[in-house]
Amino acid sequence: MPSNCVIEIDNKLYKGAIKLNTGLFIDGKWCDPVDAKEMIDVINPSNGSKIAQVSLGSSKDVDIAVKAAQKAYKTTWGLKCPGSARGRLLNRLADLLERDTDEFAALEALNVGKPFNMAKMQDMGGAIQCIRYFAGWADKIHGNTVETNELKLAYTRHEPYGVVGQIIPWNFPMLMLSWKVGPALATGNTIVLKPSEMTPLSALKFADLVVEAGFPPGVVNIVNGYGMTVGQAISEHMDIAKVAFTGSTLVGRKVLEASARTNLKVVTLELGGKSPTIIFDDCNLEQTVKWASAAMYGNMGQSCVAGSRIFVQEGIYPQFIEKFTAVVKGLASATGDPFTSTTQHGPQVSQTQFDRIMGYISSGKESGATVHIGGDRHGTEGYFIQPTIFTDCTPDMKIVQEEIFGPVAAIMKFKTEEEVIEAANATTYGLSSCVFSENISRALRVVHALESGSAFVNSAQLVDSSIPFGGYKQSGIGREHGEYALAT
């Protein structure tokens, strides 16, 4: 039988022992992998120490999970379970998440490194909202009658895919889990889910709530493992009808390729971004600085919608730099232990991510950009990087073109509206954008010209469960959230 672990956390924000099963969750119960030879070490990014070990699944375990999901779909879920019943179970699940919010936030702070208060308010608050939103849709999914002529009766019927695969990233584990699980269960699908091998703890805890809420066995299955094994097996499986993936563009291509090579399963991809933040000289500067810093440095810059390309109109460039620098200095002074109430900036998720970001910082320096502030390691323990600002950036630099996924902003000056639109669109990505101007006509004109799936005016990254989310170009395919998610 798979083993349990107990994680002891003792500080002012959270004190308690969190019990976790470290196995695979298949057909409503915990089990060992078929080949139970190796384990995955789960690391605390604040100090590099090992938190726990979890079971390492393989393609054989994915096969077993798919069979369990197929059985559940045909016998107890799918069209066998009324939408009203699915909605009640989802609402019950949201109630349990709300009850255990502190416990989940503690796991996210410990495993991901995000400040506890942010994990509690933003991640868990968003996850609960998402599950409740789709619970409300569960009994409202229906087709239409179509008038043709008096000799025909024609109607459309919305049916589930069946078994769906879900691959979630490490930066927002519970939030991304809810984005995938909510619409899939509301529409009657069964799930085989792979959490990130770096941050599996909250997904494993979530599995216990699936049982407690009363979902039939096999409706939700969770298989730990690496992308090259479990992720690939999900992407290639002939009995999985759809895959939803959030992660890098490079891996997203592999998921899409696997679909093309196998059964042409439907694919939803939420991929990378290099989002522009455009600041006109008539903006409310004080509010703009707050929003721009939150858009850039939230979750330590480890966000696909991070506003990492900041374009400032030349008339207010010096004032913006001064005020933005002051905010970033404050953020730097509030960097540290995720379980300290004053912490606003935690570590990067892993040594690999730390090294990758530091490589981009070195590239920025070598290409001639100026490190205005930051640009180095914070402290001597863990994977902390100073919030960083680069100035004197040019469009050809790697730090301007490529997704860094870390606390590194590239600030550029512009003159005209036409110029900044062209510069903002000069990227392979198109996930999100922000425009700051008190001239609403201009702001709307600019956001309509930007090639991005979401656009925010005088605000930033206020993602909501009722509003569709997704990208243009290499930022993805399909939409999550809102009624749009039910159709994809």
Q: Given 236, 270, 403, 451, which residue is catalytic? A: 270
Question: Strand 39-43 to strand 154-155: parallel, antiparallel, or no bridges (unpaired)?
Answer: unpaired
On whether the CB atoms of residues 31 and 132 are closer than 8 A, the answer is no
CA distance 174 to 168: 9
For tokens 């703890």, name the residue.
201
Taking the CA atoms of 251, 253, 254 and 259 in sequence, report the sign of the dihedral they define: positive
CA distance 320 to 436: 12
Q: How many CB atoms lie within 10 A of CB 82?
A: 12
CA distance 357 to 344: 19
Could you tell me the CA-to-CA distances from 359 to 114, 353, 356, 363, 372 in Å, in that order?
22, 10, 5, 6, 17
On whether the CB atoms of residues 437 and 428 are closer than 8 A, the answer is no
Question: Which residues, listed in sequence order, are joined to residue 480 by a DSSP beta bridge?
Answer: 469
On whether the CB atoms of residues 89 and 96 are closer than 8 A, the answer is no
User: 211 in helix, strand or coil?
Assistant: helix
Residue 375 has which token pair?
Answer: 């640009």
Give me the phi and psi of 398, to 5 degrees please. -60, -35
Among 355, 350, 358, 395, residue whose Cα is nearest residue 376: 358
Could you tell me the CA-to-CA distances from 408 to 45, 246, 390 in Å, in that order?
19, 22, 7
On whether the CB atoms of residues 185 and 72 are closer than 8 A, the answer is no
For tokens 């198109």, name the residue.
430
Query: Which DSSP symbol is given to 199?
Result: S
Give me the phi and psi of 465, to 5 degrees please. -60, -25
The verdict on whether 270 is a catalytic residue reads yes
Question: Strand 370-373 to strand 388-391: parallel, antiparallel, or no bridges (unpaired)?
Answer: antiparallel
What's at 46, amino acid-wise?
S
CA distance 232 to 87: 31
For tokens 């308690």, name the residue.
16
Residue 118 has which token pair?
Answer: 């942010």
Strands (E), 252-385: 266-270, 276-279, 309-313, 370-373
Q: 125-137 and 173-186 helices cross at what angle (nearest 10)?
A: 10
On whether the CB atoms of residues 160 and 79 are closer than 8 A, the answer is yes
Q: For residue 146, with 0-12 CB atoms within 10 Å meaning exposed, 13-18 middle and 19 or more buried, which class applies?
A: exposed
Q: Where in the sequence numbering do the catalytic residues fall? A: 270
